[in-house]
Amino acid sequence: MSKNAEFIDKLRSSGLRPTKQRLKICEVLFNRDKTFHFTINDLSKIISDKLGEKISLATVYNTVHAFKNKGYLKEISINSDKSYFDTNISNHHHFYDQDTNELIDCDNELIGNVNIKKNITGKKINSVEVLIKVASDNQNQN
């Protein structure tokens, strides 16, 4: 089955119509080996600059959020002014390079199991994420 047909299936099976725009975005996001970290702006730029396609910014937002809601993307917590997304939807952690504003996946084996000894009463744990901020120099950026 072609990649494109796979994407069509994937979309249909989750109740999303396989439109041109969504398929193009699928290609950009999911047609790769390594996981991909991006902001809406990154994605939008790739589509217009590298691919020379024109997809409305609103559609990029809509699509990314639809994909996130369907579980095809994960939104990552960064102390920042914009949202980061990750094509790696498994439970994993991140390095955040403060010099370049880049997110890097952190293999789960690199971090021992984070065990939470006591949870808030009456609440269910939805996720546990470790964010490791790194930078090259000796300044105390937080």
Partner DNA sequence: CAACAGTTTAGAATAATTATAATGTATTGT
Partner DNA sequence: ACAATACATTATAATTATTCTAAACTGTTG
Say how far apart CA 29 and CA 115 lie, in whole Å: 32
CA 115, 35, 103, 136 dihedral sign is positive
Per rule CB under 8 A, is residue 125 in the interface with a copy of itself?
yes
Least distance (Å) from DNA to the CB of residue 72?
Answer: 13
17 binds, among a copy of itself, DNA, none (CB under 5 to 8 A by kind): DNA
Per rule CB under 8 A, is residue 122 in the interface with a copy of itself?
yes
Residue span binding a copy of itself (CB under 8 A) among the ranges 24-32, 49-57, 59-67, 104-112: 104-112
30 binds, among a copy of itself, DNA, none (CB under 5 to 8 A by kind): none
Burial 11-33 (b: 16+ CB within 10 A, else e): beeeebebeebbbbbbebbbeee
Per rule CB under 8 A, is residue 112 in the interface with a copy of itself?
yes
2 binds, among DNA, a copy of itself, none (CB under 5 to 8 A by kind): none
CB atoms within 10 A of CB 38: 20
